[in-house]
């Protein structure tokens, strides 16, 4: 619980501790799964409440509330794994960071805790996004052992790579009718 509070209060030494502690992987995984379930249930509830007001073709595309929940959970876990790998790759390859996939997995697992703020109506999602970005920069900096500037650049380059890959995968899935 102390580490979660340290992440929530953006204490840099805690991020470093998490990155270096291989035993923290289990807790990071639990946080990701719990936050993914939280997001999945929240998405399902929203779809259940407002799905009937959508045009029939849009409602059909979204599927059932259960399907939406399952999709959200799977996407969150896959996104965490792929995102952590890409950020570790970018940090090491382009900016000389001293990190690896496991460290980024742990750090970004813990930063998923900020998604709990998304439950607050209106501004909650914005607060969650801002805190997640700040936490990500601190986590990248601490795990990679370089400057804040390099951490920000790592995040930007990784985001662009993930965006391009996501667009490519989406286009391919769209061509085969799975999107």
pLDDT digits (tens, 9 = 90+) for 101-143: 999 999 999 999 998 888 787 788 899 999 999 999 999 999 9
Pairwise CA distance, residues 139 & 39, whole Å: 22
Q: Looking at residues 137-159, what average pLDDT do you find?
A: 96
CA distances to 40, 72, 87, 118 from 64, in Å: 12, 12, 33, 22
Structural domain harbouring 85: 2-175
The pLDDT, as a whole number, for residue 24 is 95
**pLDDT of amino acid 48:** 66
| 83: pLDDT strictly greater than 70 | yes
Compute the average pLDDT of residues 68-81. Answer: 84
Structurally, how many domains does the chain consist of? 1
53 vs 177: CA distance, rounded Å: 26
Cβ of 45: how many Cβ atoms within 10 Å?
13
Task: Report pLDDT for 154.
Answer: 97
Mean pLDDT score of the chain: 87
Quickly tell me which residue has 């996407």 as its tokens: 75
For the segment 12-45, what is each residue's pLDDT rounded down to a tens digit? 999 999 999 999 999 999 999 998 888 777 767 7
How many angstroms separate the CA atoms of 117 and 99, rounded? Answer: 29
């Amino acid at each position: 619980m102390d580490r979660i509070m340290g992440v929530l209060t953006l204490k840099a030494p805690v991020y470093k501790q998490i990155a270096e502690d291989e035993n923290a992987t289990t807790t990071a995984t639990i946080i990701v799964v719990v936050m993914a379930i939280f997001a999945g249930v929240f998405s399902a509830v929203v779809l259940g409440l407002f799905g009937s007001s959508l045009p029939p073709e849009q409602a059909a595309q979204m599927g059932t509330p259960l399907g939406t929940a399952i999709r959200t959970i799977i996407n969150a876990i896959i996104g965490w794994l792929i995102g952590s790998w890409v950020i570790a790759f970018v940090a090491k390859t382009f900016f000389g960071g001293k990190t690896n996939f496991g460290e980024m997995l742990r750090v970004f697992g813990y930063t998923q805790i900020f998604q709990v703020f998304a439950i607050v109506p209106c501004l909650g999602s914005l607060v969650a996004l801002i805190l997640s970005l700040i936490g990500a920069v601190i986590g990248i900096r601490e795990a990679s052992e370089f400057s804040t500037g390099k951490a920000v650049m790592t995040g930007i380059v990784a985001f662009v790579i993930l965006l391009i890959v996501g667009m490519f995968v989406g286009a391919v899935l769209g061509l085969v009718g799975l999107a």
